[in-house]
Chains A and B, each alone.
Chain A
Amino acid sequence: MTLTRRYTLAALFPALLLMLALVAFPTIFIFTLSFRDYVLTDMTSPRGFVGFANYARLLGDSRFASAAGRTGVFVLLSVGTSLVAGLALGKLLTTKARGVGFLRTVMIVPMVITPLVVGAAFRFMLDYDLGVVNWFLSTIGLPKLGWLSQATLALPTAALVDAWQWTPFVALVVAAGLESIPTDPIEAAQVDGANWFQELRYVTLPLLRPLLVVVLLIRTMDAFREFDKIYIMTAGGPGTSSETLPIYVWRAAFNYYNMGYAAAAGVVMLIGITVVSALMVGRTRALEVDR
């Protein structure tokens, strides 16, 4: 016996209706918007369809290309750092070292704190004059650094702050994974005299692979759309040195009110992240509903 057909439809109806209104409609809207000349502040703008004009302008805009490049750097640095640190930390969480239980609880803290507040706290700690980081550097005899005020450093610094917030997430998933995989292959590798790197490379990582792909996917998508911390720490500056795609699109839409152009940039962003995530999901079935 199963649920009646009428009940199933009634139970799905509100969700389907909301999905249609709140998800499908804006998605279609953004595509049509990207083909229109739509400048909000310009009352004389006819707001008509202009074909691929917005996309053509986008292709010729070197600032857009730079923002896309910076987004790539930001994603690589943030995801890479949090994966490496998260693997090490996850391994530490499965040992019997003193304080591991407490550390597991503490790992929750960075993940649940408002990202904007994380950015604000780090902006203070990384301040050139007032910051505790530069105070520490000068105490041990190293020169002060303009972490967020120097053009070459602002983007990598922002990526590391993002990695700080999400490394615990990777670590806790890795720890959960390590506890669920069989210990025999690892013990066998140790008996056979594998060093720690061989054990990691040939035994642990392959066993954790399905989980790691999902973590990689989630981390990549989150880093790709990161806005809050960059906004509060540098707002894309100094100059445009930390202007990633979300900051760029926000500026085009809500500083210059060029909605059509911003929509075109947004569509390119959506296509970009869809392609990247499809490539990642391609060979894993971990995210499928019927596992």
Chain B
Amino acid sequence: MSALKRPMLTLGVVVALVVALFPMLYMVRIALSAPNQWRTPTPEWTAPIYTDSFASVWAGRFPSLLMNSGILAVGSTLFVMAVASLAAHAMARHPSAKLRKNVMFFALSTRMGPAVVFALPLFLMMTSLNLIDSRLGMLAVYVFYNLAFAIWLLHGFFSEVPREIEEAGLVDGLSSFGSFWRIAVPNALPGIIATATLVFILTWNEFFYALVLTRRAAATYPTAVPGFFGAFTVQWGEMFAASTLGIIPPLVFGLAMRRYLVRGLSMGTAR
């Protein structure tokens, strides 16, 4: 049986690799080809490499969109991590279980609630506050988008730090904040970095709020993608060049943190 089984398993691995990787490799290959070269569907992997699409995308407005994505993703990550880790740690050490259970509701509602639904009040609120198409407004939206989810994840990571270490520190004269900063944070560091990575990736990839709440000044990179689809023609080369540039940051962070990513995406269940 195993003589037959082994090639079958290898075949399965090869098929899975092709299915998982082909779409993105194909996309990058089109981004790196001459204009008009991909008018025929026959995949020509050996055709000469052209970087014209990248040059044309880079010469336009696109770098400023990437910049907005970067500012908003980094800014909201830092802000969310500061607020969420303080709260998550205090909750993990609080004797009342009731407080903790209520967090689940909020975590589920903001992480899982449809963005279209929350976009309505956010749109009207931001319009009346004159925050539409502003980085400040988008920063607030992305804090909203990530805060409860981050508290949820961090709560799990802080709970795993043995209570005894912190108690020993407090007995030895550490202040409450000292106990958080000098004991809890270093001990939960892998989890903190994992949560930050996830918040960064989710914010970087976010499209719906950016579509509805930005126009130009605060527009992020995904909002550029639909613009390449014209009424009659699609600028596939430029569109895929922009997309390729855009997926590099989440790909790099995701691969670097791959051990923690699944735990974060499963809301702490799979470890």
Contact = CB atoms under 8 A, between A and B. Distances in A.
B91 to A, nearest CB: 7
A1 B171 contact: yes
Interface residues of B, number: 101
Interface stretch (A50-58, A74-82, A119-127, A150-158): A119-127
A26 B10 contact: no
A97 B13 contact: yes
Contact of B116 (A115, A116, A125, A253): A253
Contacts of A124: 26-27, 30, 236, 240
Given A120-B243, A169-B262, A227-B208, A287 B38 contact: no
A289 B101 contact: yes
Interface in A1-24: 1-4, 7-8, 11-12, 14-16, 18-19, 22-23
A140 B251 CA distance: 34
A22 B100 contact: no
B246 A225 contact: no
A277 B112 contact: yes
Given A3-B176, A92-B16, A105 B255 contact: yes
Interface in B224-241: 225-226, 229, 236, 239-240
- Chain A interface size, as a band, is 35 or more
28 contacts: A3-B170, A3-B179, A8-B90, A11-B86, A22-B140, A22-B143, A22-B147, A26-B144, A33-B121, A99-B17, A105-B258, A112-B205, A112-B247, A112-B261, A117-B225, A121-B24, A121-B26, A130-B236, A164-B19, A215-B266, A218-B112, A218-B266, A225-B115, A228-B222, A246-B114, A262-B120, A273-B112, A289-B100
Contacts, number: 300
A214 to B, nearest CB: 4
A99 B225 contact: no
